[in-house]
Chain A
Amino acid sequence: MDQGTSQPATSTTPPEGPALAVEIGHVRKWFGEFLVLSDVSLNIRFGERVVICGPSGSGKSTLLRCINALEDYQQGRIVVDGKVLTRDLRRIDEVRREVGMVFQQFNLFPHLTVLENCTLAPIWVRKMPKSDAEHIAMHYLQRVKIPEQAQKYPGQLSGGQQQRVAIARALCMSPKIMMFDEPTSALDPEMVKEVLDTMVEVARDGTTMIVVTHEMGFARQVANRVVFMDGGQIIEINEPTAFFDHPRHERTKLFLGQILR
């Protein structure tokens, strides 16, 4: 059965609401000979919070990275904030300015202080005066509850603190869409909660969020829709309660059975 085409249209697009933030239409991507994304279609509206889950190698991170053009794709169409992603570098830069990304490995800049990490893009990409950028950076560092670490270097912080800085760094660009790529997978267990709490905070502001994670508690609490991917395909999309309590596809049931055991 070809999952991509057999899904009812209503499950890839919420029926009504604001404009589309992300429009993914029949995207296929190969790594060499290997098909990593197979006819993936997904529409996300502004203000929506979508959690993508699935076993490793299912293509969920690749899909996320296609949305801000860290990966290219060979077939199909991706439209972000009304801009079609092609190889046009100018267009890609425009999209990246509006899409914040938080990585599994934080990817903070180790040679810059926490504050400089946060002000870099506003100053150099948004051409903001330094004092304004610092003001905004301190605001978001306050939001993620580590303003006192502003002058430290990332190497001096714990993993949880680093990931919160990474979230603040992305927020400083005031992105229209925030993407999280397994933000808690590289953390020690006792630090997962502080990062998830920060993400819940971000969700409360009504930010459009696309989150790849295995944190099912977070998905239940925050997501509007949960997307389950396996083998490069979208297998099932549903709102969280129905998704967790009444999974419909066999592979979803198997996956949930494994991670919720």
Chain B
Amino acid sequence: MTAETDQVASDVFVRTGAPLAVPPPVATTGVQGWLRRNLFSSISDCVLTVLFVTALALIISALVKFLVIDAVWSGTNRDACLPSDVRPEIGACWAFVRDRFAFFVYGSYPIDQRWRVDLFFVLLAIGTVWLLWLDAPRRDLAAAYLFVAVPIASFVLLHGWEAFGLRPVDTALWGGVLVTIVVASIGIVASLPIGIVLALGRRSQMPAVKVLSVAFIELVRGVPLITVLFMASVMLPLFVPASWSPDKLLRALVAVAMFSSAYMAEVVRAGLQAIPRGQYEAARALGLRYWPMMRLIVLPQALTATIPNIVNSYVALFKDTTLVFFVGIFDFLKTIEVARVDPNWATPVTSATGYAFAAMFYLIFCGLMSRYARGVERRLNVDRHD
């Protein structure tokens, strides 16, 4: 009798000796295993894989052909981008984007004052990177800088202040990326604190606070952003004296901030609801009052849990800023709209080029936001759980 049959035959078993280290079968690991498991695990999988790879190849090759291979990179007017006998097929007219690039970035901001916009971009970029870079030193200072210093400095810089020798620039002249960034930043910065207050108000035990919060959230959420914008820009002047009537851009900013706050409130509320009751009880039992409990225990967890949803709101908000062009504000998309019908650059490919450029701009910004959020999420998960 061998040792093995001994083991099987007996009801009592005690292992002796170390287990053998056997490598896994070749077909389940490495590139080959991955392909087999994910792309070719059944006949229908194979068919789908082939179909999608073919479709992707077609789309990507067409895009590359239009955006790169057939593209026109330089020129001073429409002639460069018109089909000719030499170049029967014309792709993207990047010469047009290069020619009008300053307009896309600054709108009609006075040319000799554009350094102020550049400085604003730099200040904002420094604050953003400082705050978002998780290992940066003194991130509390970064927050103070970004949420207090930068807004004040930006207002002085962009709007102008005679005392500092900065000539006032009417907001009607602002435009392009500048306006898009300003509207999006205000929406992003204002929506989180206001949204948190609204969400807490909605869950409050105090009836008045609760009713007001619910009314605000539901009213704003029940109306499309474009309506809120029209209300702010067209109807508000009807109700207040003309001398009172605030700046057009400011009205749009308030509308965007209100709108995004109402959505953010619902996102935060979902996060609050995910916090187990035991967390509140433990905080209470330790003697923490309402605000310390919320600030130290509940909100950090609720906001962390909803990072994907918060960023989702931000991405949506960033794209929604394009709607301000309906109330006559020159955001980035509006500058493209204006430039693409410029007779100087009228060619069959101008519009497509302009929109492709706009798409890339929004894609890059939104992509960066969601990538960053995913990085933060992964890092928090690694830190707190094994």
Contacts and interface: CB of A to CB of B under 8 A. Distances in A.
B285 A101 contact: yes
Given A121-B287, A124-B296, A111 B384 contact: yes
A103 B282 contact: yes
B300 to A, nearest CB: 5
B206 to A, nearest CB: 13
A107 B385 contact: no
A125 B286 contact: yes
Given A124-B296, A153-B385, A107 B279 contact: yes
Contact of B286 (A110, A111, A121): A121
A108 B279 CA distance: 7
Interface string B274-315: 001011011111111100100011001100100000000000
B112 interface: no
A97 interface: yes
Given A68-B285, A100-B285, 16 more contacts: A96-B286, A97-B287, A101-B282, A105-B278, A109-B282, A110-B301, A120-B286, A120-B288, A120-B296, A121-B287, A124-B292, A124-B296, A153-B383, A156-B384, A156-B386, A169-B286
Interface residues of A, number: 25
Given A153-B385, A155-B386, A156-B385, A107 B287 contact: no
A109 B279 contact: yes
Interface of B: 276, 278-279, 281-289, 292, 296-297, 300-301, 304, 383-386
Contacts of A68: 285
A105 B286 CA distance: 16
A96 B287 contact: yes
9 contacts: A103-B282, A108-B282, A111-B300, A111-B304, A121-B288, A125-B286, A125-B288, A125-B292, A155-B384
A201 interface: no
A125 B384 CA distance: 25
A107 B284 CA distance: 11
Contacts of A107: 276, 278-279, 281-282
A125 B297 contact: no
A177 B385 CA distance: 33
Contacts of B283: 109
A185 B187 CA distance: 48
A90 to B, nearest CB: 10
Q: Is the interface of B mostly helix, strand, loop or mixed?
A: helix
Interface in A75-129: 93, 96-97, 99-101, 103, 105, 107-111, 120-121, 124-125
A99 B304 CA distance: 30
Nearest to B380: A111
Interface string A45-80: 000000000000000000000001010000000000
A247 to B, nearest CB: 32
A70 B287 contact: no
A124 B288 contact: yes
Contact of B287 (A108, A109, A173): A173
A214 B372 CA distance: 49
A9 B287 CA distance: 33
A59 B366 CA distance: 54
Contacts of B292: 124-125
A103 B278 contact: yes
B297 A109 contact: yes
B278 A153 contact: no
A169 B288 CA distance: 13
Nearest to A108: B282
A155 B385 contact: yes
Which of A103, A109, A170 has the most CB atoms of chain B within a 10 A radius of its CB? A109
B288 to A, nearest CB: 6
Nearest to B293: A124
Nearest to B278: A107
